[in-house]
Amino acid sequence: MKIRSVETMIVDIPFHDGGKGEGIGPTTWNTLEIALVRVEDEDGFVGWGEGFGYFVTDATKAVVDRMIAPVLVGTEVDDVPAWNLATQKRLHLFGRYGVTMYAISGVDIALWDLKAKRAGLPLHRLLRAEEADAPSPVPFYASLVRYADDAIAPRVCAQALERGFRDLKLHEITLPHVRACRAAVGAGVPMSVDVNCNWSDAFARDAIAPLIEQGASWLEEPIFPPEGYAQLAALRGHGLPIAAGENWCTSVQFEHALAAGAIDFAQPSVTKVGGVSEFVAVAEACGRAGVPLLPHSPYFGPGMHASLQLAAALPGVRQLEYLYVQPDAWLAPLGEPGEGGTFAVPEGPGLGFEPDPDVLARYRRA
């Protein structure tokens, strides 16, 4: 496929979470920012991708516009992983991980969408060598933002269960807030705890017993730095599974983490890790190590559709993440969750993502 154009756009969609807007981000977080990548080939096929995300979309867009698009336009790309690796080599001096890889991720996803559309297949079928039955709906857990409030967080937990989700994840970082949520939903609801690297090694170690007491399903990103593989490994084996990986990029970091025995669950994020190409390589490495995947997927654009396609294609994926907020609009709606908090895998060609032109026009910022 010969690439005719690469276009980037930033879409800002306000959302509501019922909280005080003080969550995890560097400033008030009340808008879903989506860095969209649109790739078109000379035959008129169009692929969509998404590079991470949130407050960093302008930087992601700039990397695509200034360092990737000028080289990609006019070239033939048939082997997307080979394009990905060549681009990593060309850009490594700008930082192997972080924004450079978010930009590569967005373009990689768009190229895979394009390739699958040219083949007339949904991406999950293109990724699987053999013929397969229609995929089952993919199970999701509801992932709540951090409320740090003993009234709001338990209320939102109850709302998520009413919407049809069976599993919850909290981003609360104090044990009293976790206990308040558990008290609200009762003992039977699977509930994991993600502290986004906020705890010291000692605090995390001491928190394991009380979290087990609260019935936590897993503890996510307990310590800083996120790539502290030996520190993570030391927290394993005490009865509470350790999950991490949303801030690791490329299969290289996952290979290092797996070799160190850092995780019980791997959490690659398709818009950060290096797109579909690197996600597949990560899943293969995890398969060899016997480590299941719980991908990071709090996305509202092509990143979500790519995550669904990967979950359908890769047997190691157990569940996906649904960021439990209410956006004012969807570029391409997923609809309401089905039985037990599941979403169907799009069966149209590519990712199954086609942006609503009115939503795109209304919320596009750049």
E-strand ranges in 203-297 read 216-220, 242-244, 265-266
In this structure, the dihedral spanned by the alpha carbons of residues 170, 300, 26 and 88, taken in order and rounded to 10 degrees, is: 110
**Among the listed residues 253, 256, 300, 260, the one whose alpha carbon sits nearest the alpha carbon of residue 278:** 253
Among residues 298 and 346, whose Cβ is nearest to Mg ion?
A: 298
The three-point CA angle 352-282-134 to 5° equals 35
Contacts of 358-363 with CB under 8 Å at 24 or more apart are 359/11, 359/13, 359/329, 359/330, 359/331, 360/9, 360/11, 360/331, 362/329, 363/11, 363/12, 363/13, 363/329
**CB of residue 169 vs Mg ion: minimum separation in angstroms?**
8
- Beta strands 216-220; 242-244: pairing state: parallel
Residue of 108, 194, 227, 278 that binds Mg ion (CB under 5 A): 194
**CB of residue 220 vs Mg ion: minimum separation in angstroms?**
5
**CB of residue 121 vs Mg ion: minimum separation in angstroms?**
31
Residues 245-284 interacting with Mg ion (rule: CB under 5 A): none
Whether residue 254 contacts residue 285, with contact meaning beta carbons closer than 8 Å, is answered with: yes
Q: CB-based burial of residue 167 (10 Å sphere; 0-12 exposed, 13-18 middle, 19+ buried)?
A: buried
**CB of residue 222 vs Mg ion: minimum separation in angstroms?**
11
Residue 321 binds Mg ion, judged by CB under 5 A: no
**CB of residue 306 vs Mg ion: minimum separation in angstroms?**
18
Among residues 113 and 221, whose Cβ is nearest to Mg ion?
A: 221
Among residues 41 and 227, whose Cβ is nearest to Mg ion?
A: 227
Among residues 41 and 220, whose Cβ is nearest to Mg ion?
A: 220
Among residues 296 and 305, whose Cβ is nearest to Mg ion?
A: 296
Neighbours of 151 (CB within 10 A): 9
Cis previous bond, 53, omega within 30: yes
Among residues 159 and 196, whose Cβ is nearest to Mg ion?
A: 196
Two structure tokens written together for 113? 């969408």
**CB of residue 243 vs Mg ion: minimum separation in angstroms?**
8
How big is the site for Mg ion, counted in residues (CB under 5 A)?
Answer: 2
Among residues 245 and 275, whose Cβ is nearest to Mg ion?
A: 245
Neighbours of 211 (CB within 10 A): 22
Residues 333-352 interacting with Mg ion (rule: CB under 5 A): none
Among residues 220 and 264, whose Cβ is nearest to Mg ion?
A: 220
**CB of residue 298 vs Mg ion: minimum separation in angstroms?**
8
The interface region with Mg ion, picked from 21-29, 180-188, 191-199, 225-233 by CB under 5 A, is 191-199
User: Within a 13 Å sphere around the CA of 240, how many CA atoms are in the beta-carbon half?
Assistant: 26
Whether residue 246 contacts residue 271, with contact meaning beta carbons closer than 8 Å, is answered with: no
**CB of residue 195 vs Mg ion: minimum separation in angstroms?**
9
Residue nearest to Mg ion (CB): 194
Residues 220-249 interacting with Mg ion (rule: CB under 5 A): 220
**CB of residue 224 vs Mg ion: minimum separation in angstroms?**
13
Among residues 116 and 243, whose Cβ is nearest to Mg ion?
A: 243
Two structure tokens written together for 162? 């009413």
Interface map 195-224 toward Mg ion (x if CB under 5 A): -------------------------x----
Which residues are near Mg ion by CB under 5 A? 194, 220
